[in-house]
Amino acid sequence: MTDPDDAAQRRLDANAAAGPLAELFTVDLTVAMATCAGCGNTAPLAAHPLYAHAPALVVRCPNCAAVVLRFASGGCRLRLDMTGTRLLTVSLAGAA
């Protein structure tokens, strides 16, 4: 079982995922709005807690702690699991 204090010490905010996610997306996802499939909470991706000490980056909902996004790279492949994300909204630069 994971020690809750240890998990809290390892938690980052999802801004730390910006670099790795830039390999897959051409837009800055830290300002994207993510809606949790579990509880329906909508928040900027940067406000979500990120756990980077796993085989993949794990982004959790700031409201209910459900996994909303997993991202991994290796073996010349990028893998993105967004099963826990109901909707990801990205504003385009210069759009009216």
16-62 pLDDT, tens digit each: 877 777 766 778 888 899 999 999 999 999 999 999 888 899 999 99
25-22-31 Cα angle (round to 5): 75
**pLDDT, position 53:** 84
Token representation of residue 46: 């940067």
User: To which H or E segment does residue 36 belong?
Assistant: strand 33-36
Report the relative pairing of strands 77-81 and 85-89 from DSSP bridges: unpaired
Q: Round the average pLDDT of the chain to a whole number and report it.
A: 86
- 3 pLDDT higher than 80: no
Short-list 8, 15, 17, 7, CA closest to 72 = 17
Q: What is the DSSP letter of 38?
A: T
